[in-house]
Amino acid sequence: MNEAQLEIEKQMELLKELLNQGNITEFREEFLATHTYEQGQFYLGLTKEERQKMYHFLSPNEMGDMFEIIEEDEESVEIYLEEMDLQYAADMLGAMYADNAVDILKQLEKQQIKEYLALMDEESANEIKELLHYKDETAGAIMTTEFVSIVANQTVRSAMAILKSKAPEAETIYYVYVVDTDDTLVGVISLRDLIINEDDALISDLMSERPVFVTVDDDQNDVAKTIRDYDFLAVPVVDDGDHLLGIITVDDIIDVIDDEATSDYSGLAGVDVDETTENPFIAASKRLPWLITLLFLGMSTASLISRYEVMVSDASILAVFISLITGTAGNAGTQSLAVAVRKLATKEDGQTNFGKMILSEIMTGLVTGLVTGVTIFFVVGIWKHNFILGFVIGMAMLCAITVANLAGSLIPILMDRLGFDPAVASGPFITTLSDLTSVLIYFNIAALFMSYFIGTN
């Protein structure tokens, strides 16, 4: 633990002491001087009784500042809200930036949402109601309506005055959006440009007239791509008529990028990788659905092998290479899947040629299959002094890898076309599917050469 962490630990202990002593003045002083993230960490470590005290010590506004930054799972946020006084909770949600309040409200029942909205001040309630309508994972669902907008025909001085008055509520003041009379987005100017330029300069002369924007229905991953590519701190969101509706800030985009990476990674591993429990029963209950599903898929491979049991009984040497062929094809299929998922995630709309992508994967499969097949031909041929066996294994490897590469790219593309997240066509699924085809290929090729194997070992 380094110095800074020790400092934080000490502060946490002090806060807890003051809270439990009921020393409201000193607690407030220390708590409000603490960064909101650390406030949140402190709050999350409290017992129910201690949290109750905090609700009495802090205003809904102050509580809201802290809740902006808490990223907790559904169950706990619901618990926290329910232990607060109804009006207190409504005031707190109303004081938060609309996008963060919406994130919390979305985790509740419809009836609860209504209750809170009814108790909230009208302006906040309306803002939140508007945002609640947008589909999950779109720009609309993650934007906030608290931004600063001005008109073009004014000076830097008057723009700064507007900025100053709106600064306390706006989620970012570092970009000022320029609109015309019907709220159409016509430009953007950064606070840096406002500060650098003369007070008498006209906004219309300084602003960028080609503001980059996203549309309210855009997928949140496309928004992330825009912010990342352009190194923006925020991006404006417009409707189909170019009217400015809100903005999306970079901190929300970091969460989107994180979630996306986690879900891709989870998909490939067949497990929710953000599993934080240390209780093995809970962990097992989350992993078992995938394992058991794959077990039954694996049973189809077993029953397929079972059909060739007579061949195995006649030439037991065949059994030796089953897992080598299924394993290698599975590895190739996983590589192909991961590349395809990534290409689909970073594709520009309408710029991906799926046919070309699949063809390129088949060709890659043929080349890797050929190299791997020739390698194993020599290895097996020399090891078992049997080049016919080597040829069978090599041929099976070539075909199985090519098919696995095809499946690894085709399945995520199909998922994407059908509107599913291609990352869910996950690693273990491709591996198990490729087991099935590999076994089929292997025994059918082996069958052609059975006369050479009978009695071999």
CB of 392 to its own copies, least distance (A): 14
Q: Considering the rule CB under 8 A, would residue 140 count as an interface residue with its own copies?
A: no
CB of 313 to its own copies, least distance (A): 4
Q: Which residues in 305-344 contact its own copies (CB under 8 A)?
A: 305-306, 309-310, 312-313, 316-324, 326-328, 330-332, 334-335, 337-339, 341-343
Contact residues for 130 (Cβ-Cβ < 8 A; gap 6+): 145
Contact residues for 93 (Cβ-Cβ < 8 A; gap 6+): 64, 101, 104, 105, 116, 120, 124, 128
Q: Are 317 and 457 in contact (CB under 8 A)?
A: yes
Q: Which residues in 231-250 contact its own copies (CB under 8 A)?
A: 231, 233, 250
**Mapping DSSP to helix (H, G, I), strand (E, B) and coil, where does residue 249 land?**
strand
Reported in sequence order, the residue ranges of 146-287 that DSSP labels E, i.e. its strands, are 149-150, 175-179, 185-190, 214-215, 234-238, 244-249
CB of 414 to its own copies, least distance (A): 19
Residue with tokens 């991953």, as numbered in its chain:
221
Stretch that binds its own copies, among 45-53, 79-87, 118-126, 261-269 (CB under 8 A): 261-269
Q: Which of 44, 363, 382, 448 binds its own copies (CB under 8 A)?
A: 363
With respect to its own copies, which residue has the nearer C-beta, 125 or 413?
A: 413
Which residues sit opposite 176 in a β-bridge?
189
Q: Considering the rule CB under 8 A, would residue 280 count as an interface residue with its own copies?
A: yes
With respect to its own copies, which residue has the nearer C-beta, 111 or 279?
A: 279
Q: Which residues in 411-440 contact its own copies (CB under 8 A)?
A: 427-428, 431-432, 435, 439
Which element (helix H / strand E) includes 111? helix 110-119
Q: Are 400 and 441 in contact (CB under 8 A)?
A: yes
With respect to its own copies, which residue has the nearer C-beta, 292 or 447?
A: 292
Q: What is the dihedral of CA 294, 299, 301, 307, to 10 degrees?
A: -170
One DSSP character per residue, 256-289 reads: HHHHHHHHHHHHHHTS-TT-----HHHHHHHHHH
CB of 110 to its own copies, least distance (A): 29
Which residues sit opposite 149 in a β-bridge?
177
CB of 162 to its own copies, least distance (A): 11
Q: Which residues in 172-201 contact its own copies (CB under 8 A)?
A: 173-174, 191-192, 195-196
CB of 350 to its own copies, least distance (A): 5
CB of 347 to its own copies, least distance (A): 11
With respect to its own copies, which residue has the nearer C-beta, 100 or 113?
A: 100
* DSSP letter (8 states) at residue 348: P
State the binding string over 378-407 for its own copies (x if CB under 8 A, else -): -x---x------------------------
